[in-house]
Amino acid sequence: MYLIPAIDLIDGKCVRLTKGDYNQKKEYNSNPLEVAKAFEGAGIKRLHLVDLDGAKAKKLVNYPVLEKICSQTTLSVDFGGGIQSDEDIKIAFESGAKQITGGSIAIKNESLFSEWISKYGSERIILGSDAIDGKIAVSGWQEKTETPLFDFIAHYISKGIQYTISTDVSKDGMLQGPAFDMYKDMQAQFENLNIIASGGVSNMDDIYQLQELKLYGVIIGKAFYEGRISLEEFEKFNATFNV
């Protein structure tokens, strides 16, 4: 299982929100490249980079940060937030993203998102499947839809999707543990899907529990920034499991 630290961007700075609420913002570092290099130094291979300004503006905003991280580290970056058009996805890939994550677009413009899966290949497109009360949430979690989470995932598996990042929004930033049951059910229902857990991780015990579910990866945000998980623990986990 990959440990995938997250860097969330507002005004080009490294921040975290609580439950996706822009009014509950905490800034951790004004230099995201410095943070990315620290992850790389701890043996991390993958990074989840989120353009929160972009998610709000519905267009890419912080792609210069993406370009900087991709050109100055060896991290494999998946990039999300505000990718709403052909131009946006082109800029993201040209800026160095290995994968892009689309959530809102997959609900609001299914034909375009499906086109991207065909054009760029399903190994480069991650389905963002974030949920509130079992229903898909979009636009930086500002909008809850009536689409059931598992129906949404099944629909896109039929179109070739291989990866999903799934967040139970109620867990995000709360440091009270991930939605273990949700991921267990998801893994049972979609055996061949590469599931990346996100939200709620509070310590290494949570990570080891998720690892037992044999998920593809786990995104770690606030627990790292609040000092509950260290770079040394990242390193130890990767060495133990030869990630």
Q: List, in sequence order, every residue forming a beta bridge with 41; answer none if it has no partner.
A: none
Q: How far apart are CA 145 and CA 237, in angstroms?
A: 37
Is residue 154 helix, strand or coil?
helix
Q: How far apart are CA 91 and CA 59, in angstroms?
A: 11
Q: Kindly list the catalytic residues.
A: 8, 130
Q: How far apart are CA 165 and CA 193, in angstroms?
A: 11
Burial (0-12, 13-18, 19+ Cβ within 10 Å), 87: exposed
